[in-house]
Structure 1
Amino acid sequence: MTSAEPAASDVTPAASRPAATRPVLLRVAIPHHYSRGAKATGYGSTRSDQAVHRVLALSRCLGGVLGLARGEVEQMLEVTRPQLLSTGRPSYPATRLAGIQVELHVFVSGDNRLADVLEAFRGRLTLHEVELEDSLHLPRAARDFLLQHEQPADLHCYLEDDLVIHDPLFVDKVSWFLNRTAHQLALMPHRYECTDDPAMPRLYVDGPIAPDFLRRFQTPQPRVATGRFWDGNEVSFDVASNPHSGLFLLSEPQRQRLRGRGVADEGFVGPLETVATYTVLQHMPVVKPSWDCRQFLLVEHAHRSYVAWRDLLLRRGDAAAQGAGERT
């Protein structure tokens, strides 16, 4: 399988690195659905429970995407005598991208949306109104928009509406990986939820899935690729034991490949998982950073639903331990 191992000369001082000629264009499509009359369980996009949590999750999702944008030269406000100054080009952190431009698209159907949140971001995103009988088809509309867009972009991202990107180098890392592997592999981040336990603050929610099911699509394999990122740190990658992350990322060559081959609307768990995962899994192996390198690429699941399983399992464990103690 293709290796991401770079030549030794790839890790060089920032000043000697070849400068990129233009900013990277990141095109993002997010399907958004919220209905106050929806059920209280199931997909996060169809749940009505705790509206404030959905508001926070969507706000953080949109803010995280828009926060990825940056310029090589930016503006600084001098407040003593109000005027705009230039920051100059940064030397930290190490990067080879000449800035990032974000093009954000949100897809909605009918009135099933958090309108106040979308209004707060007006002017910073493009809202697409889609007429659908079934809201579970909204992800397809967002995905197909990315795949069929007439204009190219450097990176295409499909993102569920409760995922938060915190890493300012997220685009840098994905771009580095896809280029180093000649666009033959799909890279997914590790997805986590925040717990209420200071000693174990993160719960990674995409652990291994049933081997018999996964083997229909790919066979897990550790350390299929290694490479030294621009900051000098070595990272290894595994063919994922769970390829789902609630998103996908495609370079322009990968997008063109999928356009030519077509994508399925079903085939992996349910309609949302099919769009987020099988869109790419159908055509190329999905890898994630090895578990000991997991912090290389992360995304937060902000509308928490998996931590309830953690709490339940811990209670079961405590009850089992108590029962064993009573029998001794």
Structure 2
Amino acid sequence: MRVLVAIPHFYQATADSSHAYSDGRFPELRKQAIRSVFSAWRFAYATHQSVLNIEKRRYERIEAKVTELALFAITTGGNHLLDAEFCRGCSINHVEVTLEDARMMGFQAHRIFAEHARRFDLFVYSEDDLLPRDPAFLDKQLWFAETFGYRRVLLPNRYEWNMQGPAPKTFIDGDLVSRLTDPWWQKLPDERFLQARVLGRPVAFERTRNPHSGFHVFTQEQLRYAMGQPYWGDEDVSFVSPLESTAALTLLKSFAVYKGYGRDMDFLEVEHLDKRYSALGRNA
């Protein structure tokens, strides 16, 4: 499996936390979070592992499922928490772009995808504070596309850990007002629910009323389809804000977007390394 991961990353020392790209609170925590995200992609998915053979008293190599991983960090204005040594250690391709609005960096990720469209099997877009912990995360993306077809996309549900929240684990992307998604449902009609058996039990997926996860994955077939549409690269920011538009709008224009539903919300999930949404109306 060959994978390209593009992560827009922005840090600026400001108390404004209205968007992930402008949250300058807690610089050390932010730095740790950013490094854990890049390290996870480099070492949890794309590096060989080892097993301790107790009988033979030696370590033995286990080959990684991901045979090639290209990891890109997209920054602007020098506002980031990445140093050269860390980038070398994680083999990060650091791309600095000039933008008036940092929330537009996601469109640069799509340009990187297009430049490598024939080289990789999966193309991952992720905001810089989202951490996948499931070793089968990428396999599930391929499985969903193979099972339900390339015109349907599966997004992860974001969650936060917060012992002072409404529950220790809170999924943070509930339904938006229907007027935001109804136009896309009308243009691309599809099933409201999908179901398949996974590991011997039924798993349900819902066409989501909140297509923003700060994250998406294209298969090569899906990317090439999206690139062939007249709106590819139009930098349309009409969905909520530039931040949400870069993550979700290209998907809405091209695909029926699903997420795990109900008790299956954790089928595909990604951790948001923050507590801001699970602490709404509470002390974090």
Of 187-196 and 55-64, more deviation after overlay is shown by: 55-64
**Within the alignment, does 1:273 sit opposite 2:238 as a pair?**
no
CA contact (8 A) 2:117 2:223 kept: no
Match for residue 154 of structure 1 among 121, 139, 145: 121
Q: 1:41 to 1:64 in 2, by over 3 A?
A: same
Match for residue 225 of structure 2 among 257, 265, 274: 257
Whole-angstrom CA distance in 2 between matches of 1:121 and 1:304: 27
Q: Deviations over 1:198-246 (max 9, x none)?
A: 88211211111111222122279886211123x3332111101211111
Identity %: 28
CA contact (8 A) 2:165 2:282 kept: no
How many angstroms does 1:142 deviate by? 1.6
**Within the alignment, does 1:133 sit opposite 2:110 as a pair?**
no
Aligned Cα RMSD in Å?
2.8
**Within the alignment, does 1:202 sit opposite 2:178 as a pair?**
no
Match for residue 24 of structure 2 among 48, 69, 91: 48
Tell me the SS of whatever aligns to 2:280.
helix
Whole-angstrom CA distance in 1 between matches of 2:211 and 2:160: 17
How many angstroms does 1:288 deviate by? 0.5
Aligned to 1:247: 215
How many angstroms does 1:170 deviate by? 0.3
Aligned to 2:253: 282
1:232 aligned partner, one-letter code: G
- The 5 A counterparts of 1:158-177 are 158-177=125-144
Q: 1:199 to 1:41 in 2, by over 3 A?
A: closer
Aligned to 1:228: 197
Tell me the SS of whatever aligns to 1:216.
helix
Q: 1:133 to 1:180 in 2, by over 3 A?
A: same
Whole-angstrom CA distance in 1 between matches of 2:141 and 2:93: 24
Q: Deviations over 1:57-83 (max 9, x none)?
A: 212221232212365xx5457799997
CA contact (8 A) 1:53 1:303 kept: no
Whole-angstrom CA distance in 1 between matches of 2:169 and 2:50: 36
Q: 1:185 to 1:150 in 2, by over 3 A?
A: closer
Q: Deviations over 1:52-106 (max 9, x none)?
A: 22112212221232212365xx54577999976345x8xxxxxxxx812332111
**Within the alignment, does 1:122 sit opposite 2:65 as a pair?**
no
With the length of structure 2 as denominator, give the TM-score of the two structures: 0.86
CA contact (8 A) 2:4 2:71 kept: yes
How many angstroms does 1:133 deviate by? 3.2
Whole-angstrom CA distance in 2 between matches of 1:304 and 1:172: 28
Tell me the SS of whatever aligns to 1:171.
helix
Match for residue 292 of structure 1 among 263, 274, 281: 263
Whole-angstrom CA distance in 1 between matches of 2:87 and 2:135: 20
CA contact (8 A) 2:78 2:96 kept: no
Whole-angstrom CA distance in 2 between matches of 1:25 and 1:310: 43
Structure of greater Rg: 1
2:81 aligned partner, one-letter code: L
Q: Deviations over 1:299-327 (max 9, x none)?
A: 11103321231527xxxxxxxxxxxxxxx
Structure 2 spans left out of the alignment, 5+ residues = none
Tell me the SS of whatever aligns to 1:145.
helix
CA contact (8 A) 1:225 1:237 kept: yes
Structure 1 spans left out of the alignment, 5+ residues = 1-23, 90-97, 313-328
Aligned to 1:306: 277
How many angstroms does 1:284 deviate by? 1.0
Tell me the SS of whatever aligns to 1:308.
coil
CA contact (8 A) 1:244 1:277 kept: yes
Q: Deviations over 1:155-177 (max 9, x none)?
A: 11100001010111101111100
CA contact (8 A) 2:165 2:278 kept: no
How many angstroms does 1:143 deviate by? 2.3
Higher strand proportion, which one? 2
